[in-house]
Amino acid sequence: MKAMSTKAADKAAQPVTSAEPVAPTFRNAFLFWLKLGFISFGGPTGQIAIMHQELVERRKWISNARFLHALNYCMLLPGPEAQQLATYVGWLLHRTVGGVVAGSLFVLPSVFILWGLSYVYVVYGNVPWIAAIFYGLKPAVLVLFPEAGKVDVFAVVVAVAAFALMLKWKLDVIPVVVGAGVLGLLYKLLL
């Protein structure tokens, strides 16, 4: 009898950890999907990794088993599995409205970013310092799209450095891309 009470006391002394997912408020989910739309670079593999890290590991909004089940389900469907996964998880968390919001916010920020960059390039692409920034961004594009065009030594060096910074030192993609733009500006100005 005494052994049982010792085990119960040991169990009671251990910290309580909840393995159960904690459902977010709609506002918190909305803000997460909006953020994801702005930072989801790197193709479906990177996007799915970001969602797993944020939704399962960091925020604990869904369990790992549920995430993997959703991912497997989305991989069976035709089309972009990362967007389908975001839509499905949004639906799991907040039903139809959650799915529509998650799916929309997964795409819309990047559409506006690309429209903005396209506008700047078309209208101001001949301005030397703007052209230099786009030249600095060329390595990032070359990493994403190898067939994008002719590669020069500067582009290759910056692309390899960007890859090393993100892989070895775990830097976020946005500061690396901004840094590449600044390097391109400096390179063109000093050339």
Domain boundaries, the chain: 24-114, 125-191
Confidence class of residue 54 from pLDDT cuts 50, 70 and 90?
very high
In angstroms, rounded to a whole number, what is the distance separating the alpha carbons of residues 118 and 86? 27
**How many other CB atoms are found less than 10 A from the CB of residue 167?**
9
CA 178 to chain centre: 16
Closest C-alpha among 103, 84, 33, 101 to residue 61? 33
What's the helix, strand, coil split of the chain in %, to 5?
80, 0, 20
Note the pTM of the prediction, 2 decimals.
0.61
Confidence band for 57, pLDDT divided at 50, 70 and 90: very high
56: pLDDT strictly greater than 90:
yes
Q: What is the pLDDT of residues 68-124, one digit of tens each?
A: 999 998 988 888 999 999 999 999 999 999 999 999 999 999 888 889 988 998 999
Q: Please give the single-letter amino acid code of residue 143.
A: V
